[in-house]
């Protein structure tokens, strides 16, 4: 029993994790002319403060942002964040008064997120309840024995055995019980599902229909309309994946790449500003993840009435490539010289592949987004944020080009709070004909 107690004593804190284990939420936002990362820190207590960090990047105009935190039926809370001229972290504090679905507005951009409730699981209750009941019954048995009623003392003694059996069984089985569907990632978060996450639903398949993307230009703002491909209703259940709601890649007719993170301005409406756009048909691709489902790639194109001259991406790095034939893994490594790269969107580097190009990038059959990952640190659930400038200098990518031909490739990393985009071109040979 001592052995069991010791093991359970160690195991008990681990049981308290699960639904409650929150992490910081990093959301990249292309807000007007600013490229920001909004970090909503884990909410430690409710009611209590929510710490929000706004990370600015090189070229972000200084100014003031208004943070507003609101939820249905709750008083909203506001804070001002003054953005300095130097890139870096700028903090604001807002308040929550209840767990549930909340929305943080950063000027006109709105970020829905969930403040989890601290709810103990039924098996935790059985464990603690069993041991507490055993203690109380043990006292009762001792009392009866002291009072000279050993016969009656047998009744609470039997209760002790039963209560300990309940507690030990619950504690031993708890690690093997699968976690419940989390409100916010699999289920739609409502006040009820957040407060009572252990009420199981009959749903076992959480996947949702695909999304139709309709891009249009309003002035120099690119507006994405996202509708459900099964019902035609606006899609308002996007998850933050790889630190953004939408990873939007726009390639101009001359091959200039922009990687933007549109802000949510209304349900199913996301917008991003194209600074100094070129004239012509731009290729548009958006990566999104719906609640309960995997990541989808949506491709389209939009006609832009711009006037700016064609400017190539100007990032510089030494690249070396080991290109194998189509269908086999090729490796492209960008060397950035010094070990001072920052994580961007939770990754060491991003590589966008568009091809094989014959005419315009709009017609390219292959569109890929390859990551170079930051190795996770054991025991650290939170990803390092952009203040850690200690990665690199070599950024490797491995990708199996599906078709032979000429591909446009862009490698993106972050250094000195500025995103560096290195353009390159890759020629992939056809697979060798193998005599059988």
Partner 1 sequence: MKRSVLVTLAAVVAVVAALVVLWPRSVEAQPHLAESGRYRFVLTPTSTKSGSNSFDLRVTDRSGNAAQGDVTVEPAMPRMGHALAPITAAPLAPGHYRVPEVDLFMAGQWEITVSLGTERVVIPLLLI
The closest alpha carbon to 252, from 325, 317, 310, belongs to 310
What residues between 378 and 407 interact with partner 1 by CB under 8 A?
378, 396, 398-400
Contact 351, 369 (CB under 8 A): yes
Contact 144, 156 (CB under 8 A): yes
- Work out how close the CB of 123 gets to partner 1 at its nearest, in angstroms, rounded to a whole number: 17
What residues between 150 and 179 interact with partner 1 by CB under 8 A?
172
Distance CA 112, CA 94 (A): 15
- Work out how close the CB of 330 gets to partner 1 at its nearest, in angstroms, rounded to a whole number: 9
Q: Contact between 328 and partner 1 (CB under 8 A)? A: yes
Of 202-210, 261-269, 275-283, 324-332, which segment contacts partner 1 by CB under 8 A? 324-332
Of 73-81, 173-181, 220-228, 375-383, which segment contacts partner 1 by CB under 8 A? 375-383
End-to-end CA distance of the chain: 67
- Work out how close the CB of 372 gets to partner 1 at its nearest, in angstroms, rounded to a whole number: 9
Q: Contact between 4 and partner 1 (CB under 8 A)? A: yes
Q: Contact between 322 and partner 1 (CB under 8 A)? A: yes
Using CA atoms of 199, 200, 205, 207 in order, give the dihedral in degrees to the nearest 10.
10
Among 82, 373, 388, 425, binds partner 1 (CB under 8 A): 373
DSSP-H helix ranges across 16-82: none
Among 178, 375, 380, 433, binds partner 1 (CB under 8 A): 375
- Who contacts 125 (Cβ-Cβ below 8 Å, separation ≥6)? none
Measured in whole angstroms, the distance separating CA 350 from the mean position of its chain's CA atoms is 16
Distance CA 400, CA 46 (A): 48
Q: Contact between 10 and partner 1 (CB under 8 A)? A: no
Tell me, residue by residue from 270 to 309, as one string, x for binding to partner 1 by CB under 8 A and - for no binding: ----------------------------------------
**Beta carbon nearer to partner 1, 135 or 329:** 329
Task: Tell me whether strands 48-56 and 34-40 are parallel, antiparallel or unpaired.
Answer: antiparallel
Contact 102, 134 (CB under 8 A): no
- Who contacts 138 (Cβ-Cβ below 8 Å, separation ≥6)? 156, 160
346: phi then psi, degrees, rounded to nearest 5: 75, 5
- Work out how close the CB of 369 gets to partner 1 at its nearest, in angstroms, rounded to a whole number: 9
The count of residues interacting with partner 1 (CB under 8 A) is: 20
Which tokens in the block code for residue 158?
């039997």
Among 59, 62, 150, 376, binds partner 1 (CB under 8 A): 376
Of 245-253, 302-310, 368-376, 416-424, which segment contacts partner 1 by CB under 8 A? 368-376
Of 122-130, 204-212, 320-328, 334-342, which segment contacts partner 1 by CB under 8 A? 320-328
The closest alpha carbon to 395, from 415, 372, 374, belongs to 372
**Beta carbon nearer to partner 1, 85 or 380:** 380
Q: Contact between 7 and partner 1 (CB under 8 A)? A: yes
Q: Contact between 3 and partner 1 (CB under 8 A)? A: yes
For the four alpha carbons of 297, 349, 375 and 388, in that order, the dihedral sign comes to: negative
Contacts to partner 1 by CB under 8 A: 1, 3-4, 7, 172, 322, 324, 328-329, 331, 371, 373, 375-376, 378, 396, 398-400, 434
């Amino acid at each position: 029993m001592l052995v069991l107690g010791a093991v359970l004593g160690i195991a008990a804190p681990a049981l308290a994790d699960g639904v409650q284990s929150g992490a910081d939420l990093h959301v990249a936002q292309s807000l007007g002319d600013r490229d920001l990362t909004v970090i909503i820190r884990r909410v430690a207590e409710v009611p209590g403060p929510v710490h929000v960090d706004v990370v600015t990047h090189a070229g972000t105009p200084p100014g003031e942002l208004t943070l507003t935190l609101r939820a249905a039926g709750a008083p909203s809370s506001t804070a001002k964040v003054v953005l300095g001229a130097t890139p870096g972290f700028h903090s604001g504090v807002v308040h929550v008064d209840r767990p549930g679905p909340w929305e943080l507005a950063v000027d006109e951009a709105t970020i829905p997120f969930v403040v989890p409730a601290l709810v103990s699981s039924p098996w935790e209750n059985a464990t603690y309840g069993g041991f507490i009941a055993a203690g109380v019954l043990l006292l009762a048995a001792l009392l009866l024995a002291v009072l000279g009623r050993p016969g009656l003392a047998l009744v609470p003694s039997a209760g002790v055995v039963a209560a300990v059996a309940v507690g030990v069984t619950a504690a031993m089985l708890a690690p093997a019980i699968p976690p419940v569907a989390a409100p916010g990632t699999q289920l739609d978060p409502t006040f009820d599902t957040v407060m009572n996450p252990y009420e199981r639903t009959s749903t076992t398949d959480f996947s949702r229909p695909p999304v139709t993307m309709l891009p249009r230009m309003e002035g120099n703002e690119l507006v994405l309309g996202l509708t459900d491909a099964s019902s035609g209703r606006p899609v308002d259940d996007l998850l933050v994946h790889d630190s953004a709601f939408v990873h939007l890649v726009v390639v101009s007719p001359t091959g200039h790449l922009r990687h933007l993170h549109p802000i949510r301005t209304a349900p199913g409406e996301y917008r991003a500003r194209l600074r100094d756009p070129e004239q012509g048909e731009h290729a548009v691709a958006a990566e999104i993840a719906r609640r309960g489902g995997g990541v989808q790639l949506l491709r389209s194109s939009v006609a832009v009435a711009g006037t700016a001259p064609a400017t190539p991406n100007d990032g510089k790095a030494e690249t070396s490539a080991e290109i194998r034939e189509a269908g086999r893994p090729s490796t492209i490594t960008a060397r950035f010289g010094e070990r001072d790269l920052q994580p961007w969107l939770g990754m060491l580097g991003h590589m966008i592949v568009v091809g094989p190009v014959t005419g315009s990038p709009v017609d390219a059959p292959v569109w890929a987004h390859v990551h170079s990952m930051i190795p996770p640190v054991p025991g650290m659930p939170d990803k390092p944020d952009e203040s850690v400038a200690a990665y690199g200098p070599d950024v490797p990518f491995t990708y199996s080009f599906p078709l032979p031909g000429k591909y446009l490739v862009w490698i993106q990393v972050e250094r000195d709070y500025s995103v560096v985009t290195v353009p390159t071109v890759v020629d992939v040979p056809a697979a060798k004909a193998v005599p059988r």
